[in-house]
Amino acid sequence: MTLAGIEEEITQAVQKLSESVVNIEATVYARGRRFGGIIPVEGSGSGVIFDLTGHVITNNHVVDSADVVTVSLKDGRVFGGKVIGSDGATDIAVVELEANDRNLPYATLGDSEHLKVGQIALAIGNSLGLPGGPTVSLGVVSALARPLPGADFIYEGFIQTDAAINPGNSGGPLANLQGEIIGINTAIIPYANGMGFAIPVNMVRHVAEQILEKGRVIRPWIGISAVEVNPAISRRYDLRVDTGLMVIGVSRYSPADEAGLRQGDVITGINGHETKSMKDLLSEISKLAVGSGVRLATVRLGNEMEISLRLVEMPARLYSRR
């Protein structure tokens, strides 16, 4: 493809998507320290309309604890917004526009399952809150399944991109050349050049659907803390295995506790899938519903055994940042 052809693809993708990208102003009413009274504290970010009924995806940290949310469209329309649900663990929130007019532009959610490192990515958002609509930056998908340095999110499978993500871009879309959302931009690292992160759209879709259906995200839970086994840990504790997860804590009354899992047990598999890291375990659990049965392959004092348990909903205090 010629350079002119690539340029045409980029401009068409931006045109397709930018109408649905919104600016979000979030106001928190805080009490003044010196003279008392209520002081409005304002922050801004981006979001994107993702369905015809006027629901907007943004970051949880953009609207967290907001008393008033105002959403501005590129065409000049301004609506009040209501946060109908949020998830601090993935930094996703869904805002509903308070609008009778349903003639709203909305974006197409793509598929992040088959992203490739090196493919072109477009970051669109309201950088620095500048007037005149969203801005666009161009880059590539730099890496996949990245942990986010310095963050306390449970989810670690972020898209890394070198497309410029500036303050104000949080909550805006990362898109492909078809104008489809492949991720929601969530953060930049201030001490690094050319490193931004986005939540893959498949995770975004899953979280948004649960928020719309249930008002919150329901996560299955077994109730353990563990460390990843390596040869050094195996030798020190005489574990007889070199990989797996050594249980270091079991929450009282949790499924793991009721099933008899103990400190020192090593989990080597779940439902027939090998488990070498906590990410492996969480990945398999995340595919299951609350109430599902789970078979854990474990090693206790050198003896192999299988422990069966049934998943329950993770207590909100364990993943909420509010």
Given a contact cutoff of 8 angstroms between Cβ atoms, the answer to whether 173 and 181 are in contact is: yes
Cα torsion through 165, 170, 172, 176, rounded to 10 = 40
Is 91 among the residues known to form the active site? yes
Is 101 among the residues known to form the active site? no
Catalytic residue among 112, 137, 170, 254: 170
CA distance 82 to 91: 17
DSSP category for residue 286: H
CA distance 88 to 93: 8
CA distance 261 to 48: 44
Helix (H, G, I), strand (E, B) or coil at 102: coil
Is 137 among the residues known to form the active site? no
Q: Where are the alpha helices (DSSP H) in the chain?
A: 3-18, 60-63, 201-214, 231-237, 255-259, 278-286
Catalytic residue among 18, 86, 87, 91: 91
Catalytic residue among 61, 86, 112, 265: 61
End-to-end Cα separation, the chain, in angstroms: 48
Catalytically active residues, by annotation? 61, 91, 170
